[in-house]
Amino acid sequence: MKMLIIDDSKAMRTFLGRLAVELAFQIEEAGDGREALHKLIKNDPREPFDVALVDWEMPVMNGLELVQTVRKNRDFDSLKLMMVTALTSMDRVGQALDAGANDYLMKPVTKEALEEKLQILGMV
% residues pLDDT > 70 (the chain)? 100
CATH architecture of 2-120: 3-Layer(aba) Sandwich (3.40)
* Model confidence band, residue 12 (pLDDT cutoffs 50, 70, 90): very high
Q: Read off the pLDDT of each residue in 7-28 and give the average, rounded to a whole number.
A: 97
In total, the chain counts a number of residues equal to 124
Q: What is the pTM of this model?
A: 0.95
**Hey, how many other C-beta atoms are within 10 angstroms of the C-beta on 124?**
16
